Amino acid sequence: MNARSGSEPTPTKNRTTVERKSDRELVVTRTINRPARFVFEAFTKPELFKRWWVPKSCGLTLLSCELDVRVGGTYRLVFSHNGSEPMAVFGRYLEVSPHSRLAWTNDEGDDGGAITTVTFEEQAGKTLLVFHDLYPSKEALDAAIASGSTSGMSETLDQLDELVVTLGAS
């Protein structure tokens, strides 16, 4: 209990870890305070995905979100930064195992892009979320890190955690 009489304790914010595992691999890990089925839905339903994927502090606006979440299905996200020319990221789903695993390509780069695999491991009503990005080369991963594209993951996953906890309360 906290100081407010009869109220539940405030959940502590979970830590996001980002670790370069090799020349081509980046792994992001975070525990989310809801069961895997809720977290998986937030990745696969466009109306939920667009509410958490873009870090609020970065000035990006998600203009459109198309997710055809099935093996061979595609995704396309269109962003704008402070009114700039829209930019799209897109790819296709390689693996879809409900509530446990997703894998997709990141096809917008000239070098073929990374392959992202996300696992959802339920542990005592919470979900251990692990992103594994495999880049085509050391240079591609170096460029992604240098561009800052990996720096918003903690805020993004904070937003995911807030969303699924809120959805669970309603």
Q: Tell me what pLDDT residue 59 has.
A: 84
Q: Tell me what pLDDT residue 8 has.
A: 41
Q: Tell me what pLDDT residue 9 has.
A: 40
Residues of the chain with pLDDT under 70: 1-12, 109-111, 170
Contact call for residues 118 and 100 (beta carbons, < 8 A): no
- Using only C-alpha atoms, the chain has a radius of gyration, in whole angstroms, of 17
- Give the pLDDT confidence of 119-159 residue by residue, as tens digits: 999 999 999 999 999 999 999 999 888 887 777 888 999 99
Which neighbouring-strand residues pair with 4? none
For residue 68, the SS3 value is coil
Residues 6, 42: Cα–Cα separation, whole Å: 31
The two three-digit tokens of residue 6, written as one number: 């009869």
Q: Tell me what pLDDT residue 108 has.
A: 78
121-159 residues labelled b (16+ CB within 10 A) or e (exposed)? ebeeebbbbbbbbbbeeeebbeebeeeeebebbbbbbbb
As a whole number, the mean pLDDT across the chain is 88
